Structure 1
Amino acid sequence: MATGGFSIQRLTRLRARLDRLVEAGFVPGAVAVLARHGEVHVEAAGTLAFDGPGAAKPMDPGTICRLGSMSKPLVAACAMTLVEDGTLRLDDPVDDLLPELADMTVLADPAGPLDATVPADRPIAVRDLLTYTLGTGMVPAAPGTVPIADALREVGGDLPPDEWLGRLGALPLVHQPGERWMYDTAADVTGVLIARATGQSFGEALRERICAPLRMPDTGFSVPAAHLGRLATGYAAAADRVVDDPPDGAFSRPPAFESGGGGLVSTGSDFLRFAMAMAAGGTLDGQRVLSRPAVTLMTTDHLTSTQKAVSGFGPGYFDAMGWGFGLSVRTRRTGLGPSAGSYGWPGYWGTVWYNDPAEDLTAIFCLQRAHAGDQRQPLWHDLWTAVYQAIDD
């Protein structure tokens, strides 16, 4: 039997995969939300926690989860609403709104001393923030080996946005603007840009422009006290059952810095509404948050072959993937998983979202274990295989 283009019998393989993750003690619970041909399917296993009150609560699409880097597409969508209303222009410099990033210097050697710099070839533009090519970002390096990596780590922390950006702007860029893709930091800078452009906090702007019109009440930078019982416990990567962030931890109170790079919480149900709006060209239930051309621009690969050759977290990182605005774009299919043209992004805590236009498919997974979102892990090969083998039309 098939419904919504899925074989109901074959979907049991996906549920079995989720059950195995729970039975092995990898996570206490997991949720998969699939939408296809206008129908939504949910597969869920386990509970919100291994111990305590959460151990008695089943995981479901209403469970509140830390998104980690799955926050990034929402940031880009919010920025695009400002492009659409004329507040921002993609190719304008950010200097007026972000003077901390004006007249930047660039390291002469990315691994060299911080005081050996050259002037930036050009200003940083809004487009550079959305494509993660502003010239700075995550620098994977062991402590004490690369000076800029150590300096960027010291910038971090739950600081007020102005202080955070001031510290970032006091450092040289790692590369020239537009030269290569660098991860993470651009999303946080975009959040500050949105706040200054709107005169609101980033969270207020995101709520007003994206979450409220799409009816996403559980998406934000903290969880209200009345709903903390719905927040799944976050577990550490290194060992099973070790709590990294409990429900009364970091997300139980508003942060000083609303991180576009990874600071949001949401639910499978909430994020499905954003994903469906993107799939429908920026509209859902009569509420348009983005134009169809804006969605197309967000979900187009903007990286050149030259940028891809020197970017990423290792050789071949961009062999089958490109980057749009705040999300990845699949450029070719490499296995029984997302088709070419699929777009979305995973998160640190084990969340992941992709829209696959070729298959009319939206897929969202919610786990809550540190570093579990890395799509190179075998568990994701198995989960994506279980999703795609169930397609039955």
Structure 2
Amino acid sequence: MPSSDRTLAPASPEEVGLSREGLANTDAALQALIDAGELAGAVTLVARHGRLVHTNAMGVKSLATGEALAADTIFRIFSMTKPVTAVAMVILYDQGLWRPEDPIARHLPALADLKLADGSAPGRQPTMLDLMTHTAGFSYGFTPDDPVDALYLQSHPLRASSMTEMAERLGALPLAYEPGSQWRYSIAMDVQGAVIEGLSGQSLPDFMRTRIFEPLGMADTGFFVPAEKQDRLPGLYEMGPEGRLREARSLLGRDHQTTPALPSGGGGLFSTAADYARFAQMLLNRGEWAGQRIVSPQAVALMTTNHLSEALLAAGHGIGVQQIRPGYGYGFNGVVIYDPAAADLPVGAGTYLWDGAAGTWFWIDPVNDLLFVGLIQRMAVAGMPLVQPMTQRLIAKALLVG
């Protein structure tokens, strides 16, 4: 099917080889979590063969008012920003502006001559491939008793007033490990935002808007939610010590109504299920949408290929549900399931996925030509239901034919 026809026009499940009952069972499993008080609500979207077959909104947008969640609710997608940043990066890769083997400092001089925590020079400076795969030696500052993370918490590079200041703060911090020797969830995708600005001459929001969001028709996606759309934001919750959902604070501190001073390529976007599905379908179309070339097939392949060594895959790295392991590797800014049997997941080889801090998740499965977007509003802390693998197993049971 030409990519111009793979633009999420509606279809019945049966037309694309999906079981209506299987889709209902997937939503029923999420509804059970809502009924149990684990989630306030959920929006799910499923597409196959470039056709939209299922969208459902369950539960409430606000626990205080009981207002129902809607399909066009604008969610805080946090780290589901990272795959979008990867696409922005590979657009510039297509232009020949960077290569994986380049030292990061070639494109961001503030990160020249990085040192290890003991003050010594690393065996090599981190490369762009390291930056794209969380193996550069950066961190996020999540662990106060880690000496490098403690320095991140003192410096707060993500509280800088500009990309330039963020890079300067980061350049003064030590690497957490020798580049390429570990996988550690990190500030890397925010650094990519600074690289994008430097290479493109545009701000990160303008680059994403003009090169990704507008071509894809992602009208409700951006780094802020304007005043006239603020009523479409849902409540944000976490599980309290008494076992009930309570209001939670956004990782961004507040919901921006104008472009933030430091737009986060690692976690700053807001989006809807329909918008994110357009992005995901473009990846399944190998970089095209409605006859427009967003990025080359070769760049999509580079982004959605595992780049971790066998040693890193076996080393026990990961974050939350995303535990790196044999079969479950990492491409550019997202997991790649390159061996489903080894990963113990019923998806096709080459499935690319990621999630967000408020529990949102998605995957694209090129073998089964399928995408799934799930949006919820519960901060993903200890005890969070494992909704991504759960829905992957349920959707696998809904597959009827190829």
TM-aligned CA distance change 1:251 to 1:17, over 3 Å: farther
Q: Identify the match of residue 216 of structure 1 among 212, 215, 218.
A: 218
Matched residue type, 1:259: S
TM-aligned CA distance change 1:293 to 1:338, over 3 Å: same
The Cα RMSD (Å) is 2.5
Counterpart position of 2:174: 172
Question: Could you report, residue by residue, the CA deviation over 1:162-190 in whole angstroms, capped at 9, with x for unpaired residues?
Answer: 22222211111112222222213111110
Query: Residues 17-28 of structure 1 correspond to what in structure 2 (within 5 A)?
Result: 17-28=29-40
Q: Structure 2: how far apart are the matches of 1:388 and 1:250? A: 36
CA contact (8 A) 1:228 1:248 kept: no
TM-score, normalisation: structure 1? 0.89
TM-aligned CA distance change 1:97 to 1:37, over 3 Å: closer
Identical aligned pairs, as a percentage?
34
Question: Could you report, residue by residue, the CA deviation over 1:294-344 in whole angstroms, capped at 9, with x for unpaired residues?
Answer: 101111101111233346138973233111111110132244543332112
SS for the counterpart of 2:231 is helix
TM-score, normalisation: structure 2? 0.87
Aligned length: 379
Shift of 1:73: 0.6
Counterpart position of 2:289: 284
CA contact (8 A) 1:15 1:44 kept: no
CA contact (8 A) 2:137 2:182 kept: yes
Counterpart position of 2:146: 146
CA contact (8 A) 2:324 2:330 kept: no
SS for the counterpart of 1:326 is coil
SS for the counterpart of 2:90 is helix
SS for the counterpart of 1:30 is strand
Q: Structure 2: how far apart are the matches of 1:286 and 1:217? A: 19
Question: Could you report, residue by residue, the CA deviation over 1:166-218 in whole angstroms, capped at 9, with x for unpaired residues?
Answer: 22111111122222222131111101111122222111111111111111121
Deviates more, 1:170-179 or 1:377-386: 377-386
Query: Residues 1-393 of structure 1 correspond to what in structure 2 (within 5 A)?
Result: 2-40=14-52, 41-52=54-65, 55-60=66-71, 62-107=72-117, 116-138=118-140, 141=143, 143=144, 145-156=145-156, 157-160=158-161, 161-238=163-240, 240-245=244-249, 249-310=254-315, 312-313=317-318, 317-333=324-340, 334-335=343-344, 337-371=346-380, 377-393=385-401
Question: Could you report, residue by residue, the CA deviation over 1:363-393 in whole angstroms, capped at 9, with x for unpaired residues?
Answer: 1100011016x99844444333322211112
Q: Structure 2: how far apart are the matches of 1:220 and 1:118? A: 41
TM-aligned CA distance change 1:311 to 1:174, over 3 Å: farther
SS for the counterpart of 1:44 is strand
Counterpart position of 1:111: none
Structure 2 spans left out of the alignment, 5+ residues: 1-12
TM-aligned CA distance change 1:155 to 1:338, over 3 Å: farther
Q: Structure 2: how far apart are the matches of 1:187 and 1:378? A: 24
SS for the counterpart of 1:277 is helix
Deviates more, 1:374-383 or 1:354-363: 374-383
Q: Structure 2: how far apart are the matches of 1:285 and 1:2? A: 24
SS for the counterpart of 1:79 is helix
TM-aligned CA distance change 1:369 to 1:252, over 3 Å: farther
CA contact (8 A) 1:70 1:351 kept: yes
CA contact (8 A) 1:68 1:347 kept: yes
SS for the counterpart of 2:314 is helix
Q: Structure 2: how far apart are the matches of 1:362 and 1:69? A: 18
SS for the counterpart of 1:76 is helix
Shift of 1:23: 1.7
TM-aligned CA distance change 1:294 to 1:316, over 3 Å: closer
Counterpart position of 2:6: none
CA contact (8 A) 1:71 1:263 kept: yes
Q: Structure 1: how far apart are the matches of 2:386 and 2:200? A: 42
Matched residue type, 1:242: R
Structure 1 spans left out of the alignment, 5+ residues: 108-115
SS for the counterpart of 1:368 is coil
CA contact (8 A) 2:223 2:260 kept: yes
